[in-house]
Structure 1
Amino acid sequence: MPWELPRDQSARLRIAKGYPFEAPKSSYLFVDGKVEPFSDTEKYGVSLSKRKAVIAHGSNRAPEQLKRKFFRHISGQDPIPVTAIWLNDHDVVYSAHVARYGSIAAELIYSPGTEVQVFLTWLTEAQLERMHATELPGGSYSYGHIKSTWVSADRLDLPIDSIGTAVYRSSTGILNYNNNPVAISALPARNRLLADWSQEQALSYVHGTSDLKNLDQAILRSIDSNSYRNQLTDKLKEQSLDVFHPTYAIVE
């Protein structure tokens, strides 16, 4: 297991409902489990040009998730720059996938004319290996590159990767609601073409209940029972929308 779930039920519910978690509104530096100003990057001797920029459009943009994945891990001894960007012609929607911690996960899709605010995590080779270990086992995601244009939300001069921008994408498809994707309301967007939901709205839809007590019980069951969670995901996959992206190329 890449990171351990809390045993307390209230803490589990907070994680499940809190996805994709709170993130700063601007670029920051993740250092030893804490958020520091991005301007400290030079002080720590971090060179962005020597790192791999990976789009963080879900929980990986949030300090609390980075802490779960990197705090006290050997690769986490190096700071991680996290830069806010506006990504052109894309949006972030719910995937047809229930995560092991109970949330409905995110997916990046091509959406001409939409700009969505996401982040780039600038990773060392060891940090990228660690991120792979938390994302790729189980086959729910693939890793590759997209051709895209973006601008720094903070007007920073950021390096551009000539082979494209790295990203993890869902292997299970997109959550289908009346034959349309549903955007994640926690991700700011300009000219958004889709309806958007909070995480709790998505969970209510997937579990088929809006009653708070029943929903909480269903969420906890999806965390405790692999078979129940897999049943939910299989049902979502059967109805899912295509995850085709015109420029996405998987890196084997």
Structure 2
Amino acid sequence: MRSLGLDGVPREEPLLYPGAWPRESGLLDGDRLLPLDRLTYEDRVPVLAIGSNASPGQLRHKMAEFGVDAPLPMVRARVTGVDIGVSAHVSRMGYLSASPVSAPGTVRELFVLWLDAEQLAVIDASEGVPMAGGNFDRAWLPAPDVRVEPAEGTVLRGAYAYVNRHGVLRGGDGAPRRHPGDQRVLIGELLRGSARLRRLFGTTPEDFCARARADRRLCERGTRLFAEEDRVTASGLERHVRSGDRTGGAAPLPRTQPPPTAPMP
């Protein structure tokens, strides 16, 4: 991955978020990204990667933390009906993460992760799904609401995505703000727009990241501030959060448990 520039880990360097994404589909196997021989997997669960879950370096870091080393298929797909917004919470990792938002007619190139039960448990835990105070729920996004095409002529029955429990940040028009894909730009804009946020997190993106990584309560205060300053709106995907354990033709969804000592995102 290093030779491809894909080994960066946003959890260790938050200004890298969302990390480098591959150009093509591949099989993540340790520190290698290998060619794939197929684009769908009946024995695995499809999960849309909206932010750093599409970064091989971040994925490897998450899996290695719990000793999970099975190969992980990453399939580039054409996705219609979803865009990438900004989570309305400050992550303990020091960045502002991406969240899916409903966007009928919008077409994006995203990655589908085909996860086995153990891998799904790790990703669920990293997003806080099993935790009462976690930041995300895993939601099934069915076709035709969301159209996922891993190859021409192939459409999945749906895919899972992680929907933020706090909502997403809104833009000046009241609609969900699009994540710029550059953490430094995003944090800089938010700091310039709020004196209260600067008092909490400092005046630069470096200050913001350093303070957030050092203080869980400060992150919680920043999250509340977004709501207090009326910066938050719904993602439009909340209705899908508890739509049932369907997997769009994959194997029945495994009942996952968080790995031991799962970190709070």
Normalised to the residue count of structure 2, the TM-score between the two structures is 0.74
Q: 1:86 to 1:185 in 2, by over 3 A?
A: farther
User: What residue is the counterpart of 1:29 in the other structure?
Assistant: 27
1:231 to 2:202 alignment: no
Cα distance in 1, alignment partners of residues 28 and 108 from structure 2: 22
Q: Deviations over 1:164-202 (max 9, x none)?
A: 31111101111123223221234xxxxxxxxxxx32121
Residue of 179, 188, 192 corresponding to 1:204: 188
The alpha carbon displacement at 1:50 in A equals 0.4
Cα distance in 2, alignment partners of residues 12 and 80 from structure 1: 19
User: What residue is the counterpart of 2:208 in the other structure?
Assistant: 218
Cα distance in 1, alignment partners of residues 31 and 59 from structure 2: 8
Structure 1 stretches of 4+ with a deviation exceeding 4 A read 11-14, 156-159, 209-213
The alpha carbon displacement at 1:13 in A equals 9.3
User: What residue is the counterpart of 2:156 in the other structure?
Assistant: 160
User: What residue is the counterpart of 2:138 in the other structure?
Assistant: 143
Q: 1:160 to 1:89 in 2, by over 3 A?
A: closer
Unaligned runs of 5+ in 1: 1-10, 187-197
The alpha carbon displacement at 1:60 in A equals 0.5
Q: What's the secondary structure of 1:99's corresponding residue?
A: coil
1:129 to 2:121 alignment: yes
Residue of 41, 51, 61 corresponding to 1:58: 51
1:183 to 2:178 alignment: yes
Unaligned runs of 5+ in 2: 1-8, 246-265
Q: What's the secondary structure of 2:140's corresponding residue?
A: strand
Normalised to the residue count of structure 1, the TM-score between the two structures is 0.77
Alpha-carbon RMSD across the aligned residues, in angstroms, is 2.9
- CA contact 2:81–2:106 (8 Å) conserved in 1: yes
Residue of 10, 15, 18 corresponding to 1:17: 15
The alpha carbon displacement at 1:86 in A equals 1.3
The alpha carbon displacement at 1:64 in A equals 0.8
Q: Deviations over 1:66-94 (max 9, x none)?
A: 011112634x3211000011111221111
Aligned residues between the structures: 221
Hey, which of these two has a bigger chunk of helix by percent? 1
